Amino acid sequence: MVIATSPKTHPLAHIIERLEQGGALLPESPENLVEVVGILKSYGTVLDAYQINLTYIAEHQFLVLFPFFKYFNGEVTLQKLLKHWWHDRINYEFSEYCMRAMFWHGAQGLDTYLDSPEFRQRATAAIQAKLRGNLWMGSLNRLFPEFLIEQVRLLCYYSALGQFWNVMSRMFLILSDRYDRGEIRSIADVVDHIREGLVEAAAKPITYAVNIKGQTYEIIPQSVGLTFLMDTAVPYVEAVFFRSFPFFGTVSYNAQAHQISPSQADFNYGALYADPLPIGGAGIPPTLLMQDMVHFVPPYLQEVYMRSIRGQDDLRVKICESFQKSMFCVTTAAIQGLAPYPLSTTDPEQRQANRTYLEQWMDRFVDSRLQAVN
């Protein structure tokens, strides 16, 4: 089916008009504001833990093929072991799930560098330093010369996602602090805060280096020119918000049954599309994130959840619904920031260019959860 491009006939024409008038993908309402700010406070706390661990793995578990203690951030104690076995801990597996989704779908600028001779030269130098004196690893590298190179590529994504989440976690926690001070009073204020944060961090360099036996090896030097916005933020939105991949046990992976798209570019299983209802079921990765956020939901948002019919019985589902609302606010900030012209422009040609740009976004949102949160 061909989606009409006229603003009057587009299925999401009312949202296009709202964006042109300075609104957000998520409509204004007091409850939406409480949900978005409250869940972003919880999410920011969890993201901070995630980014610390991803950075630890990238820098301190470099080419450790069996990293049994990678989730301990260098501090292995009996108490942490017992909490780990009892699952009384942050579920770092979810951060790796997002990282692998991003790695699989790819980040154009980062992937271009990771396929370059310069990367291979730098990675090889670090690999040789790591393997010095290790006969078993040296033999493995000779038998499978591309294996360790690919592991270094993966570690680059660990580091890049960690740097991205480092910025985002602080952005969300500052948003919560501003809300507490009465500075954030609307969904538009939330979007403005996030957009300004993205713009401020846009040119922040993405780099990666490891220390091996007292010597530093730059894997991604600043001279490569990778930056926060175009090389982590935009690819992350594409890979995690839009595409991702279907959860095992919920969608058939039988390609002959045509139950998933044969084209990776057509995947739409990301955070903006996922049905919240399976949250809490075995094998559903976002359950891990919702479980982590349960521990950090602020009291004012807990009160909202407790007023519902089921109370705590479907708490993770409610958290997922709030989380999706917040991600539509983050996406609004990205849409505004990447628009060819300010959406408030009065120039007819610029408005037409913006409208074409917005319709391209809305084409992708037709099958998302956008209409459900509206």
In-domain check, residue 77: no
Quote the CA–CA distance of 194 and 173 in Å, as a whole number. Answer: 11
If DSSP codes are grouped into helix, strand and coil, which group holds residue 224? helix
**What residues make up the domain containing 132?**
13-62+89-249+259-373
In whole angstroms, give the CA distance from residue 269 to residue 273. Answer: 6
With vertex at residue 205, the alpha carbon angle to CA 324 and CA 265, rounded to the nearest 5 degrees, is 45
The pLDDT score that the predictor gives to residue 8 is 56
E strand segments, the chain: 208-212, 215-220
State which amino acid sits at residue 168. M
In a domain, 289, yes or no: yes
Count of structural domains, the chain: 1
The per-residue pLDDT for 290 is 93
Listed residue (15, 200, 206) closest to 102, CA to CA: 206
- The per-residue b/e assignment along 85-123, b for 16 or more CB within 10 angstroms, e otherwise, is eeeeebbbebbbbbbbbbbebbbebbbebbeeeebeebb
Type of residue numbered 77: T
Residue 2 in any domain: the answer is no
Residue 107 lies in a domain: yes
pLDDT tens series, the chain, 374 aa:
334 444 457 888 899 999 999 999 999 999 999 999 999 999 999 999 999 999 999 999 999 989 999 999 989 999 989 988 888 899 999 999 999 999 999 999 999 999 999 999 999 999 999 999 888 888 988 999 999 999 999 999 999 999 999 999 999 999 999 999 999 999 999 999 999 999 999 999 999 999 999 999 999 999 999 999 999 999 999 999 999 988 776 776 776 777 777 888 888 888 999 888 888 777 788 899 999 999 999 999 999 998 877 767 788 999 999 999 999 999 999 999 999 999 988 899 999 999 999 999 999 999 899 999 98
- Does the residue 166 lie in any domain? yes
pLDDT of the residue at 5: 47
Identify the CA nearest to 9 among candidates 363, 357, 341: 363
